[in-house]
Amino acid sequence: MISIEHLSKSFGKNTVLRDVSLELKAANISAILGPNGSGKTTLIKSILGMVIPDQGTISVQGQPIRGKHKYRDQIDYLSQIARFPENLKVRELLRMIQDLRTRKAYPDALIARFELEPFMETRLGHLSGGTRQKVNLVQAFMYDSPIIILDEPTSGLDPVATLRLKELILKEREKGKLILITSHIMSFVEEMAEDIVFLLDGHIHFEGSCDELKEKYHASQLETAIARMMMRTENNPHHEQNIQI
């Protein structure tokens, strides 16, 4: 569904992505992980067309995206920080977003799922961080697009909302969608993701399942496996570049 071939990107003298190749398939939940500065954000922004790579190609549904924009209508995106005009009411924001896209929106069930009915006439500047994130989730999921990219989707959510988000992600995966997640909450990733891509210094350092990563580093938890992988790399920076399992 998304094919990335030999992608490289530098900002001045800082090389952020180094010859990254990756296949992201439909009906799958994939997690892009890595420490700060590893290239995660640049990779996501490249898929969204917000960053133009120096080298390499990205294809969505078999079509190269360079110089094109219509493919973006197939992608729904949840940004890490829910930055909205604070003077708008929740209902006004959702209507405004619907006016910007051609794909039909289905917000009502999501509003009910995240219990936002009491806040629809509330200005965004008056909402708590968790409620703003629920609004962010509604705008991200309401178009029924085949690809959903979620950047830190659990940020600010209480346990009930997090559970409902997990149920929603699984439901969307069952429809055959590609769900791409970035998160620093390893318990969430371990529970949800079927495939993991771990970036380090712009390289794909690991690609495989959670179980494969835990087995490789003799760990019972994903967080422990990642910590051991990073410590091993710090001790031997030339070891295990571009590992794939």
What's the chain look like in SS3? CEEEEEEEEEECCEEEEEEEEEEECCCEEEEEECCCCCCHHHHHHHHCCCCCCCEEEEEECCEECCCCCHHHHHEEEECCCCCCCCCCEHHHHHHHHHHHCCCCCCCHHHHHHCCCHHHCCCEHHHCCHHHHHHHHHHHHHCCCCCEEEEECCCCCCCHHHHHHHHHHHHHHHHCCCEEEEECCCHHHHHHHCCEEEEEECCEEEEEECHHHHHHHCCCCCHHHHHHHHHHHHHHCCCCCCCCCC
| Predicted local confidence at residue 243, as pLDDT | 36
CA dihedral of 66, 70, 72, 73, whole degrees rounded to 10: -170
Assess whether pLDDT exceeds 50 at residue 242: no
pLDDT per position as a tens digit, 95-149:
999 998 888 999 999 999 999 999 999 999 999 999 999 999 999 999 999 999 9
Which token pair is 92? 């006004």
- What pLDDT score does 244 carry? 35
Q: Which two tokens stand for residue 144?
A: 């029924």
Predicted TM-score (pTM) of this structure: 0.92
Per-residue pLDDT of 1-53, as tens digits, reads 999 999 999 999 999 999 999 999 999 999 999 998 899 999 999 999 999 99
Average pLDDT over residues 180-191: 96
Supply the mean pLDDT for the chain.
93
Pairwise CA distance, residues 147 & 26, whole Å:
8
pLDDT at 237: 52
Q: How confident is the model at residue 240 (pLDDT cuts 50, 70, 90)?
A: very low
- Which pLDDT value is given to residue 102? 82
Band of residue 236 on the pLDDT scale cut at 50, 70, 90: low
pLDDT digits (tens, 9 = 90+) for 58-84: 999 999 999 999 999 999 999 988 889
Q: Distance between CA atoms of 212 and 222, rounded to whole angstroms?
A: 10
Mean pLDDT confidence for 207-213:
96
Residue 132 CB neighbours (<10 A): 22
Domains and CATH numbers, the chain: 2-235 (3.40.50.300)
